[in-house]
Amino acid sequence: MPRTPSGIVLSSLVLALVCAAILPGASPAKAQEPLPGTERLTLEGDLASRMVDGIDKFLLRETKKSPERRAALWHRDTSSPEMYEDSVIANRERLAKILGVVDSRVPLQGVEFIATTSRQALVGRGENYKILAVRWPVLRGVDAEGLLIVPDLHATLADVVAIPDADQAPELLAGLLGGEPNVQFGRWLCENRCRVLIPTLIDRRDAKSVTRAGRATNQPHREFVYRPAFELGRHVIGYEVQKVLAAVDFFTRDSRGDRAIGVFGYGEGGLLALYSAALDARIDVCCCSGYFDSRQDLWQEPIYRNVFGLLDEFGDAEVASLIAPRGLIVEACKFPEVAGPPAPRDGRGGAAPGRLVTPDLARVKKEFARAQQLVAGLDPAPKFELVVSGPNGKGPHGTQEAVAAFMGQLNDQWKLQPPASTPQPARKDFDIEARHDRQLEQLLEHTQDVLRDCEYVRDAAFRGDRSSPEKWAESMKPYREQFYGEVIGRFDLPLLPPNARTRKVFDEPKYTGYEVVLDVFEDVIAYGILLVPKGMKDGERRPVVVCQHGLEGRPKDVADPSVDNKAYNQYACRLAERGFITYAPQNPYIFRDRFRTLQRKANPLKKSLFSVIVQQHQQTTNWLASLPFVDPARIAFYGLSYGGKTAMRVPPLVENYCLSICSADFNEWVWKNASLRAPYSYVGTIEYEIFEFNLGHTFNYFEMAGLIAPRPFMVERGHKDGVAPDTQVAYEYAKIRRLYADLGIPERTTIEFFNGPHTIHGVGTFDFLHEKLNWPKKE
């Protein structure tokens, strides 16, 4: 649709004048005539905006349907507690995987007291208990740090991991920082003869969210860990669950299994308590405070809670069902309310939006009732209890009712004692910030250790048959299924009839241009500009080049002869002038947070933005192949920047594409996403949607190109392109060159380096298209 420079849609009258100007001597009606064999396109307004809105509706509808689809992934056997445990093993393993709880914990001999020659481990004393600074090993290079509260005189009834919210220090739960008695539930539990470990969590400040290349961001520390971890199949949630489970390792070893073990958490601690108990049957009782909800609005929560595939199989009710037949107390209370990340300032920016709000009590009750229903039939019935704090479940956490219920399930003979006097500190300061920063640095360094190792994991896993192109293609089928199902995410829905609607928008000397809209799914359309060369003979079928724009781009950037965008150099138009049919699709990565929140909505469904883009391209290439002047065996893809990302992800799955050209994007992609040191890394940028779960251990750009092989593949690379250094580009491409050489088809791949920036060069790539699409090059 023609637009004014300010982007305002032209009125019908002005549109008619523009059409008359574009098509001299033609009436406005003729200017908008459709491509023969299609309906006339009558949609007005911004079609890109309409597309993004439609995808948004589609994803919200799929989210709403997710609870009813989960039952197919569960096979609960409630005939006995033992049979029930066996029947949910696969679900528990899948939950551990998507949370990133995949690393083996180091052997634990005991907790270590943190003391120096000038400072003892004792932090404080209360009535009949002492508070000690401790650490305990978790993973290689990762310790947990916090406080251990130990009863002095009485026999310990139970062992408890008390987990604070992310913005609460362990000292608060131990009663050393004052506050209302309810927030001091750690020391209250110890006063009731529990031995209590309180771990430090990564907080929501941003002071240390600075890459090692010096880029400061306003990302909460939790997001700063989440970004590289997510790319590598880890998660800030998973790391902290591991710390809780390492504490359980200690309790189990130290008490020889003679005492009950409980976890009690609030806010982010409630999340960790729920997940930890779901994953580890050694935990007898869980109290989840200030967290339990349906998770249907997960996309609105902070991104450090984003879990790929969670809603495909789990709401909080399903997670709770993994705790059965053990005990669960849910405390409905005021959540830690977070309006968003720290405010951008002083060059700090790029954090993902996300908020925490207290849900309506009715919603909590509904999810809790669903949990009870899921485990109905177990005998004895699981001890699931809902405690409501204050009016409408918005009172304080750590209430007497919740603590009493928790203690009652740990030891039904014990009557809860009221809080005693507050403990006295044994130090002038508690080293809170330095301890937190040590914990943060350990997790960040662990992600970099995983990054260094993941290439070798991919090499061992990605093994195709290189004895011939045909055998290679056959051996790629299971990897293609893995890529689609586990990385990109597949919508198992039939495509709608395309219902092609078109209208003529250009009439150039060498080609005619049409806007095209196709139906894909309900509310989801594909949209683009088709350029058809003039002078084709009757019955002639020509090759098509699909020309894909980059981030925040539009089809007119590449296919409108009046638009002079230096990044694209009108390459769809130039190729059409050479006699190629070209098609410039609108991809939905446009409108900044509007498209980035599409990724947030897709991820919990085990989907991504490319789950939609793949289907749009499948429908588009099916339609192109049906046109009488198109050779369906010669449909090529050529994309720049985010279009280059598309070149690596769509042709592996849309086999209608006979070749792919990746321009201004190809590099060592996992490194670019997960490195804290590289100045090219996305860890410190605004592209919070870019991270793909566990890509580091599955598919880098070599493996994606391997799914394209033996079809032709090319990389276009400008030396001055800031996407990545030449060395990283060449390193990853060398693997592809070796693959094609091993297959005996080295001529089907090439890379062109040119002395230029992030742009379409259109020299070697054009020659490649002429050669591989068998279209004569004319001077």
Residue 779 has pLDDT above 80, yes or no: no
Contact 221, 240 (CB under 8 A): no
How far is residue 96's CA from residue 118's CA, in Å, rounded to a whole number? 42
Identify the pLDDT of residue 503.
98
98 pLDDT tier (thresholds 50, 70, 90):
very high
How far is residue 73's CA from residue 66's CA, in Å, rounded to a whole number? 12
DSSP run (H or E) holding 547: strand 542-548
Task: Measure the N-to-C terminal CA separation of the chain; round to a whole number of Å.
Answer: 33
| Residue of 199, 203, 278 whose CA lies nearest to 243 | 199
Segment 179-202, tens digit of pLDDT = 888 999 999 999 999 999 999 999
| Residue of 266, 261, 257, 373 whose CA lies nearest to 326 | 261
Least confident of 59-63, 244-248, 426-430, 744-748: 426-430
Residue 24 has pLDDT above 70, yes or no: no
How far is residue 164's CA from residue 200's CA, in Å, rounded to a whole number? 8
Residue 64 has pLDDT above 70, yes or no: yes
Q: What is the 8-class DSSP label of residue 80?
A: S
Q: What is the residue whose two structure tokens read 């049979």?
A: 83
Show the CA angle centred on residue 421, arms to residues 418 and 426, nearest 5°.
Answer: 135
C-alpha dist (Å) from residue 222 to 101, 290, 304, 552, 750: 16, 18, 6, 28, 41
Residue 5 has pLDDT above 60, yes or no: no
Identify the pLDDT of residue 7.
37
Contact 151, 193 (CB under 8 A): yes
Tell me the percentage of the chain whose pLDDT exceeds 70.
Answer: 96
How far is residue 220's CA from residue 336's CA, in Å, rounded to a whole number? 15
Q: What is the 8-class DSSP label of residue 714?
A: E
Identify the pLDDT of residue 677.
97
pTM of the model: 0.95
Least confident of 150-159, 388-397, 654-663, 696-705: 150-159
Contact 311, 63 (CB under 8 A): yes
How far is residue 535's CA from residue 340's CA, in Å, rounded to a whole number? 58
778 pLDDT tier (thresholds 50, 70, 90):
confident
619 pLDDT tier (thresholds 50, 70, 90):
very high
Identify the pLDDT of residue 30.
60
C-alpha dist (Å) from residue 173 to 164, 196, 206: 7, 10, 23
How far is residue 175's CA from residue 185's CA, in Å, rounded to a whole number? 8
Identify the pLDDT of residue 20.
38
Q: What is the residue whose two structure tokens read 């690379």?
A: 717
DSSP 632-690: EEEEEEEEETHHHHHHHHSTTT-TT-SEEEEES--S-HHHHHH-SS-TT-GGGSS-TT-
DSSP run (H or E) holding 406: helix 400-410
Strand, helix or coil for residue 264:
strand
Least confident of 30-34, 133-137, 337-341, 667-671: 30-34
583 phi and psi, to 5 degrees? Answer: -135, 130
Q: What is the 8-class DSSP label of residue 300?
A: G
Q: Which residues contact 132 (CB under 8 A, 6 or more apart)?
A: 113, 121, 122, 123, 147, 148, 149, 150
Residue 2 has pLDDT above 50, yes or no: no
Q: What is the 8-class DSSP label of residue 3?
A: B
Residue 354 has pLDDT above 50, yes or no: yes
Segment 26-38, tens digit of pLDDT = 445 566 899 999 9
Contact 660, 711 (CB under 8 A): yes
Cα 713 from chain centre: 28
Residue 367 has pLDDT above 70, yes or no: yes
Higher pLDDT, 3 or 364: 364
Q: Tell me if the bond preceding 380 is cis, omega within 30° of 0.
A: yes
CA torsion, points 426, 432, 435, 439, in degrees to nearest 10?
140
How far is residue 62's CA from residue 596's CA, in Å, rounded to a whole number? 17
Tokens at 35, concatenated: 């491509």
Q: Angle, nearest 10°, between helix axes 609-626 and 593-602? A: 100
Segment 215-244, tens digit of pLDDT = 999 999 999 999 999 999 999 999 999 999
Tokens at 232, concatenated: 């590598």
Q: What is the 8-class DSSP label of residue 450?
A: H
What pairs with residue 131 in β-bridges?
124, 149
Show the CA angle centred on residue 693, arms to residues 689 and 694, nearest 5°.
Answer: 145
Contact 487, 699 (CB under 8 A): yes
Let me know how many helices (H) and strands (E) the chain has, helices first: 26, 21
Q: What is the residue whose two structure tokens read 């201004």?
A: 664
Segment 267-284, tens digit of pLDDT = 999 999 999 999 999 999
C-alpha dist (Å) from residue 431 to 129, 130, 544: 21, 18, 65
Contact 70, 544 (CB under 8 A): no
Q: What is the CB neighbour count within 10 angstroms for residue 655?
A: 14
Residue 4 has pLDDT above 60, yes or no: no
Mean pLDDT, all residues of the chain: 95
Radius of gyration of the chain (CA): 29
Residue 519 has pLDDT above 90, yes or no: yes
Segment 728-740, tens digit of pLDDT = 999 999 999 999 9
How far is residue 311's CA from residue 318's CA, in Å, rounded to a whole number? 10
Can you give 609-631 as a three-state secondary structure string?
HHHHHHHHHHHHHHHHHHCCCEE
Identify the pLDDT of residue 13.
36
DSSP 526-541: EEEEEEEES-PPTT--
Identify the pLDDT of residue 27.
44
Q: What is the residue whose two structure tokens read 């669960």?
A: 328
Strand, helix or coil for residue 162:
strand
DSSP 84-140: HHHHTHHHHHHHHHHTT--SPPPP----EE---SS--SEEEEETTEEEEEEEEEEET
Identify the pLDDT of residue 255.
80
What pairs with residue 515 in β-bridges?
503, 529
How far is residue 715's CA from residue 731's CA, in Å, rounded to a whole number? 13
How far is residue 622's CA from residue 583's CA, in Å, rounded to a whole number? 13
Identify the pLDDT of residue 349.
97
Q: What is the CB neighbour count within 10 angstroms for residue 395?
A: 15
How far is residue 766's CA from residue 635's CA, in Å, rounded to a whole number? 14
> Per-residue b/e over 629-645, b at no fewer than 16 CB within 10 Å?
bbbeebbbbbbbbbbbb
Segment 574-613, tens digit of pLDDT = 999 999 999 999 999 999 999 999 999 999 999 999 999 9
Can you give 327-384 as a three-state secondary structure string?
EEEEEECCCCCECCCCCCECCECCCCCCCECCCCHHHHHHHHHHHHHHCCCCCCCCCE
Contact 688, 303 (CB under 8 A): yes
User: What's the one-letter identity of residue 221?
Assistant: H
Contact 710, 737 (CB under 8 A): no
Residue 15 has pLDDT above 50, yes or no: no
